Structure 1
Amino acid sequence: MNVQLLQELMEITEEEQNILQQKKEVVKDLYTTQTHFIIERDKFLSNEKKIVARKHTRFVDFPKHKHDYIEINYVLNGQLKQRVGDEEITLKQGELLFLNQHIEHEIDACAEEDIILNFIVHPDFLKFIFSFLSSENMVSDFLLNSLYNNTHNGEYLYFKVSEVTEIQDILEKMIVELFHHTLLSDSTVKLYMGLLIVQLIKHSEKLVQKKDIPFERNLVIQSLKYIDENYQHASLNELAKQWNQPLYAVSKSIKKATNQTFKELLQEKRLTKAKELLETTDLPIGEVVDHVGYDNISYFYRIFKEKFGQTPKQLRHANMK
């Protein structure tokens, strides 16, 4: 364990100091603007910052709540007692709990030695992982449910991985990058998250999973991977042929699971890739348009501005400042 990191996180925060002095309950306004206790990602994340790590507030029971993001609880030291859905779970040192947006949990007050890190993750941050995950694992299903499921099924993944050195090393490195931000921290954290997911899949025998209902979405997972890998020339007709399924059946399955059509998902991928190329390369805009699969530059300009609020030229100019 990183002793220096632990000592830093053991320090009493301002919020904790107020709790100790005034014996207050959790101040909901710090977490949400809603009547129902749904912790809002806008309180912690931004368009530029898609993942943060926050030390869980000690010394007070945290009431029942949900999040509008994916949360990962990690016990750096001590333990974390909570009720997730209708189950009691005690996370031990080194263990992880993934919670999707649709499941409620409430947490018992942590003692001073209980250091819990909450990774607050915007769902979009994890989309890139589909490009290298196989469909034959529960993590893929969890991510798909979290990113696209329109039925709001509560779900968690509980990883008893305290003895897996590789996973502990990755997590500590991620925490250091998130708490001590440098120029390359955002890219580094993204790589670490990818490595973490791969390691968790490799050690899936240490996984305890909870789903409200069965979740079988292999066709949709593979459809998303198809779009990710073939966005330049992808078509619903080709996808249906690959699955040997009627066009309407594939289209209906995608729409039901993601609440988006194939065309909308493909457009989102193409525009996101175009934005990445405009920000990271010197390719002429016309070549970028062609590269992501569009042949009508006027149409591209219109939908790009609708999504990002500025034209490709404006985005590139702003990125050069």
Structure 2
Amino acid sequence: MRKDIYQRLIALTEEEEKILNGEETVNKSLYTDDGEFIIDSKKLLQAGELIDIRRHTRFVDFPKHKHNYIEFNYVYEGKLTQTIDDKKITLKQGELIFLNQYITHEIEASSEEDIIINFIIKPEFFDYIITLLDDENIISKFLLTTLYKDYSEGEYLYFKVAEKKHIQELAEKIITELYEPSIMSKATIKLLVGLLLVELVKRSKDIETYSANNYDKLLIIQSLKYIDKHYKDANLFELSKKLNQPHYKLSKLIKKHTKMTFKELLQEKKLSKAVELLKFTEYSIVEIIDLIGYENPTYFYKIFKEKYGVTPREYRENS
């Protein structure tokens, strides 16, 4: 790590100075405006940003909380001890843990020598990256469920990679890019995070996994993967045949675990694909409507404006 960036990492923050001067608990207003302790990405990310980092606050116990984003904890120096569903985990220097939006955890006070980097990442950051990964690996399955924001089971992936120096080097490159952004930083960060995930996939034997509730998770993952691949002409009856499940049972499971119906999930996927095509291709709007599988342009315009507040043409111009 470059010396100037390292000095920024170890320097006391205003919050830490207050703690050392007698403030005994975390100031929750720095992290959320909600009555519950759900840390809000809006408090930590600048408007429009999908990823950033902050050093974990030292010298104080962090009480039970959740996030409305995906969090990676990376132990740059020292250790990190946290409790997830009564299970205590201590990460060593060089290790990482990925936490989805629904994990509840609490963190023991870190000492001055403990340098923990928290990556704050909105799920949509992974929309492109997930296409680079093999469908069947454990990280893809973790990311796939996080992309559907109403999938509500707490999960984590703990990477015991303290001895894998090339993984630490990648993490440090991402940190450096986030601390000193350039005109190409957004693209560079995506590529580096994608490369980090690919390297972690190769270390599947070093991964400890956890899910607060594994009930029928495999069926839900398969359903989400089916929608992801076949959004143009997907339908519940075809999916139920593929999974050898009654359609009514599958429908109830999807609603239970994602808080959305199959039709709503499919519509979300089609609209996100439409946005991708508007941003990154020169297809006409009529062509995009056909590519994502809508036959009624009027209906597409209606649901697009309901979700994004603008017409497809306005969205493309603003992008």
Q: Please confirm whether the aligned pair reaches a TM-score higher than 0.5, indicating the same fold.
A: yes
Cα offsets for 1:175-222 (capped at 9, x unmatched):
222222233323333333333333223212112233334354333223
What letter is aligned with 1:120? I
Deviation at 1:136, TM superposition (A): 4.7
The answer as to whether partners of 2:81 and 2:91 remain within 8 angstroms in 1 is yes
- Equivalent-residue separation in structure 1 for 2:209 and 2:185 (angstroms): 31
SS at match of 1:305: helix
| Residues 130 and 225, structure 1, Cα contact 8 Å, conserved in 2 | no
Which stretch shifts more, 64-73 or 298-307? 64-73
Determine the C-alpha separation between the residues in 1 that align with 2:274 and 2:148.
22
1:289 aligned partner: 289
> SS of 1:49's equivalent?
coil
Match of residue 112 from structure 1? 112
* Residues 74-99 of structure 1 deviation map (CA, whole Å, 9 limit, x = unaligned): 11112222233312222111111222
Moved more, 144-153 or 239-248: 144-153
Give the Cα separation in 1 of the matches to 2:63 and 2:247.
Answer: 47
Cα displacement (A) at 1:134: 5.1
Cα distance, 1:149–1:273 mapped onto 2, change above 3 Å? closer
Q: TM-score, normalised by structure 2?
A: 0.87
User: Which TM-score applies when normalising by structure 1?
Assistant: 0.87
* Equivalent-residue separation in structure 1 for 2:249 and 2:135 (angstroms): 20
The CA distance in 2 between the partners of 1:105 and 1:311, in whole Å, is: 41
* Matched-pair identity in %: 52
Q: Is the 8 A contact 1:141 1:216 kept in 2?
A: no
1:209-236 deviation digits (Å, cap 9, x = unpaired) = 3333435433322322222222223333
Residue of structure 1 equivalent to 2:303? 303
Structure 1 distance, partners of 2:91, 2:83, is 11
Query: Once the 2 structures are TM-superposed, how far is the Cα of residue 51 of structure 1 from its aligned partner?
Result: 2.0
Quote the residue 2:317 is aligned against.
317
Q: How many residues align?
A: 319
Measure, in 1, the Cα distance between the counterparts of 2:42 and 2:215: 29
Q: Secondary structure at the match of 2:120?
A: strand
1:214 aligns with 2:214: yes
Deviations along 1:4-56, one digit per CA (max 9) or x if unpaired, are 43233122222223333454532111011123322122212366222221111
Change (3 A) 1:240 1:25: closer
Q: State the shift of 1:310 in Å.
A: 0.5
> Residues 155-170 of structure 1: matches in 2 within 5 Å?
155-170=155-170
Distance 1:165 1:216, change over 3 A: farther
1:53 correspondence with 2:76 = no
Which residue does the alignment assign to 1:17? 17
Deviation at 1:317, TM superposition (A): 2.3
Equivalent-residue separation in structure 2 for 1:283 and 1:149 (angstroms): 28
**Match runs of 1:1-321 below 5 Å:** 1-45=1-45, 48-128=48-128, 131=131, 133=133, 136-143=136-143, 146-148=146-148, 152-319=152-319
Check whether the contact 1:2–1:172 (CA below 8 A) recurs between aligned residues: no
CA contact (8 A) 2:79 2:91 kept: yes
Classify 1:165/1:25 alpha carbon distance in 2 versus 1 (closer, same or farther; 3 Å): same
Q: Residues of 2 paired with 1:237 and 1:132: CA distance?
A: 29
Q: Is there any run of 5+ residues in structure 1 with no aligned partner, and where?
A: none
Contact residue 130 and residue 140 of structure 2 kept, 8 A: yes
State which drifts further: 35-44 or 185-194.
185-194
In 2: Cα distance, 1:274 partner to 1:136 partner: 26
- Secondary structure of 2:270's match? helix
> Cα–Cα, structure 1 residues 2 and 76, in superposed 2: closer, same or farther, change >3 Å?
farther
CA displacement 1:253-279 (0-9 Å, x = unmatched): 333332222222221122112112222
* Paired residues of 2:53 and 2:175 also in contact (CA < 8 A): yes
Q: 1:238 to 1:187 in 2, by over 3 A?
A: farther
Q: 1:65 to 1:212 in 2, by over 3 A?
A: same
Q: Describe the SS at the equivalent of 1:101.
A: coil
Provide the rounded CA distance (Å) in 2 between the counterparts of 1:269 and 1:82.
35
Taking a change above 3 Å as real, the CA distance of residues 289 and 46 of structure 1, as seen in their structure-2 partners, is farther
State the Cα distance separating 1:237 from its structure 2 match: 3.4
Matched residue SS, 2:227: helix
Query: CA offsets, 1:122-166, max 9 Å, x none?
Result: 233335555455565543454455455968444332211111133
Change (3 A) 1:46 1:9: closer
Instruction: Read off the aligned partner of 2:236 and give its amino acid letter.
Output: L
CA distance in 1, matches of 2:294, 2:137: 34
SS at match of 2:66: strand
Distance 1:47 1:32, change over 3 A: same
Whether the 8 Å contact between 1:131 and 1:228 is mirrored in structure 2 is: no
